[in-house]
Amino acid sequence: DRLRRVINTDSFSFIAVTMQGFLNSIHKIDSSRHYQSLWSPSIPTQEHVDDACLLHSGHDTVTIVLAHAREDAQLTFLSLKGNQVSNENTLPRNWNKAKKGGVSALTAVMQPLKFASGGYDHKIHLWSMKDDLSHASSMPLAVKHTSVIHSLLPIRDTSHKLVSAGADRNVHLWDLCSERVAHTLRTSNIPYNIHRTESPFCTLLEVAHLDLQYEVHDHRMIPRCPAQRFGFTTQAPPGRYMKGDTWTHFFVSGDRSGRVRVWDLRNVSKEPYLCQCFGNEVIQVVKTESHILACSKRSEYRLISIHGG
């Protein structure tokens, strides 16, 4: 099994989600990590989780949605209360059966009990969960991608928008109020992840590149101004499931050699802070209140202290 996503929650320190659908809580105890199993699927080999997100419910219950790369039961949502799964349901998704089945990307949006999904069939849906967490209804968005959706991100600049990045190298900004594509930009290579920056008008994208893996785009300057690109030299581009994080004017990411880099986005030409964390691939890096949590593909974890940041 492989680590797929680490989710920061209010009730627990973190929840780790694996490719086979296992959920484990990660609690910090002094300088060590403590693990507790929260959920084990009945048939792990049939899960193949691609993504996961935490729903903003306003309840004392933590709700996690899982995206599956399969035709049947493409979405699962789990309600956790008191470190126990109190409810498990699947959501029927209306997908294009002429394409490959499965959900490849998830994100919670800024409204409570709402999230968005992107699929292998190139489709994006906006979901609304019922108050009792029993079911969710979906609405397809008229966003045209010609390949699998890799990442989704809600932003708010002049209005609420949903940013989608696909393997077709197109990044669309869908205006949720006017229900239209407000902007479209094209990346230098296949984008894997989208992140917010200090400015609500800029987004940072992780792309499949050997030395310029990161691009910062200003939506107001599309297409007049080229992106600000930076990165490091490597023998292989980052994988699709590798994910960094941003906070204020900083960006942190891991690489295939187990190293973590921290960039100051105010001056990306400056050498980043570098820390060797593992002997294998860093699958995700998460910013906490005072630390950076680095997570390896083999479910190893390391906390890096943030000084002056």
Across the chain, which has 309 residues, the per-10-residue mean pLDDT values are 87 82 75 71 86 82 92 91 81 93 95 94 95 88 97 96 97 96 94 96 96 94 86 91 96 96 95 94 91 90 76
Domain identity same for 8 and 155: yes
- Give CA–CA dist 205/195, Å, rounded: 6
CA dihedral (74, 128, 161, 170) in degrees, to 10, reads 20
Q: Give the pLDDT score at 308.
A: 46
> What secondary structure letter does DSSP report for 220?
G
Domain at 55, CATH number: 2.130.10.10
- Give CA–CA dist 135/188, Å, rounded: 39
Tell the residue number behind the tokens 């910013």, with chain if given.
287
Domain at 256, CATH number: 2.40.10.480
Q: Give the pLDDT score at 246.
A: 97
Domain identity same for 61 and 141: yes
Helix/strand number for the chain, H first, E second: 0, 27
Q: What is the largest CA-CA distance in the chain?
A: 52
Residue 193 · residue 151 · CB < 8 Å: yes
C-alpha dihedral sign at 135, 141, 145, 151? negative
Q: Give the pLDDT score at 190.
A: 97
Residue 210 · residue 251 · CB < 8 Å: no
Bridge partners, residue 181, by sequence:
174
- Give CA–CA dist 309/303, Å, rounded: 15
Domain identity same for 187 and 257: no
- Give CA–CA dist 158/169, Å, rounded: 25
Q: Reduce the DSSP state of residue 250 to 3 states and report it.
A: strand
Both structure tokens of 198: 């200090």
Domain identity same for 98 and 247: no
Residue 82 · residue 38 · CB < 8 Å: no
Q: Domain ends where: 238, 254, 285? A: 238
Q: Which domain holds residue 281?
A: 241-309
Q: Domain ends where: 184, 218, 238? A: 238
Which residue type occupies 122?
H
Which of 305, 285, 306 shows the shortest CA–CA distance to 294? 285
C-alpha dihedral sign at 35, 15, 30, 257? positive
Q: Give the pLDDT score at 309.
A: 43
**What is the number of domains present in the chain?**
2
pLDDT tens for residues 207-261?
999 999 999 999 998 877 789 999 999 998 888 999 999 999 999 999 999 999 9
Classify residue 148 as left (phi > 0), alpha (psi -120 to 50) or beta: beta
